[in-house]
Structure 1
């Protein structure tokens, strides 16, 4: 899949940076000055020696098919500034980073990666061949289901007390009572319910209109409680979604889907304890949209990094559940290459219909991935909106996206003309994540 001479853009490289400081430091190393012995090959490997403060240069090697990184520097960041600088050099200076034979020090690491991948595949095959004790697994599942049921019943009583006392009591009680209830949900092994309870506790201090938002979210929590208490009577796809929403995890077990997957967007969110990386993919042949999730401890970026604007020939293994888009990345069959064209899109009316259909499958869905084609970014009285070129309808940009620099990048790319935009659309509005125009065919990230 890799092509000679096809290299990433600087924007795609910098999207890999774990933080702003790494992005700045890596940019300073993106020129030929500190580098020697740099090269690349058709399998996606890029290597080089970077002069540092010591007598020996740092040995830096990147496998762009991962991507994965190895550097002899002491940094704990992945990728480190040397890996970012090397990739920037590779992206912008073909004379310095030419096709060459892999040096022994780099080949040793690459061979180790190939060996570990083969061992992991063999181990996975062996594990799947083993038969676990089904009776013990059944008993564990029943015990946990019983704890979750007790937690859901207690949460229902908490919601009943809230409505009986009036929503104003939520502001007077403060956040402590909600945190105590969330802790009880954690004890009940229902982290999904715990997360929703914490969100309820934060609403009374969220500004004007909070009673309406609290009532809406309380209704959704109540619906999830009732769905869990009657989960055995639900259709299996919806039951799987309910189990996921309360916090019961299940492995990705669907049949693997191989395609040329377009990496449309990637962004991180953090809650103080864990960093979650969301990567949106679109299958060029299958037309499927998939979501990859990866996690990192607080202060550390998740390992999985696929810069937006690339395309990978790979297998994805989907999760179950009604309307679920989540998948795990399986085997890759070559190094990523740049996207040649954006995914097909539709109108704003199509986006509304798609979100409505998804809500029928998963009532707790906050947003749904959609691609809009031929839309124009225009200011509105209370913010911005994306309007169809004919001006017949428009989608408001979500308030959370109004303060992001990406919105101004979108306006610049549009320039008053129609563009293709990918993003997440929900009841709060549209969050633009990537854009393409006829004048700017490469992917413009808006995160």
Structure 2
């Protein structure tokens, strides 16, 4: 719980060139009675952003602390902790703004202020993401403009992944450079932002001129629900709740005691649409052929902006997770299904996870995928995915322990990551 003397922290993220430094200078110039301290992170040896902030008209050299040649969400975590504690000891100020580099993830940065030494002096006020409206629309909003190429075992993380995750974690999204998009394009971008993070506040700006009162002193960050606020997580939760209600009222059970609704009936559901963005959940308790589903996931409709979730693939003991953001698609092996572990471990895990969906035959094995986008052919995508499932005869004879997967294009060992598609680079 935040104390009266805790220093509020705004964590500022966004892609390279989105307007973070311009926004920071604007906030310093218009902060009024607030005494704002700034910590600027840059990946290079020379911290260009810090020089731009310190050298602004009016001077802010005394306000600026630099962390260079690394990323504060990974390499420089210890440096960040020491820097913010030194600031708290040496200076009096009302608010700290941390400008992360364009490749930093805001979530790990926020955790540094909610755990350990920094949590004794600071409280996270809000996560603010600056979005270049033109760049975002071109990356995610244009029908038929995205191309993909296949790839495999590539550890390089596409910026489209990071851009989407920065929005999914944001309490406030500063939609900058709105003068570079049409009204219709701007509406599309706003709809997509709300689809990715339904409760985010959106501030439209040109040249990052945002009212400081919209960004500072908001107390919008709640660490207890930060991870659950993303649109795809809310879609999963809403779908699961609707499914539970359907089961409670319909009583659909079969003589063998299994829930067959996932593959005998529709098996996909729609949470409420958020601001015109379509989202649906594809849920099945029947495994995919690995090669077939890999081909479909590598060729998703261009207007699918985000998809996340769990994959059950025949022949694999691994709980596979899908991550897609625009033209970037990857699958990662998160670890073995609980159902593959010894019975005493299964029992212990289930006792500690009362929310775990469990089938008496298949355990926790299942597919749950969320798709978020605009104007894509959902029925066609569902049909393509269904075509990747084991057919009735194959499933009737299916035994996870004896199934031979053959040449599996998906990850087979925990921690392995396979890139199925990535942006074309000229």
TM-score by length of 1: 0.28
Q: Which has the higher helix share?
A: 1
- Normalising by structure 2, report the TM-score: 0.29
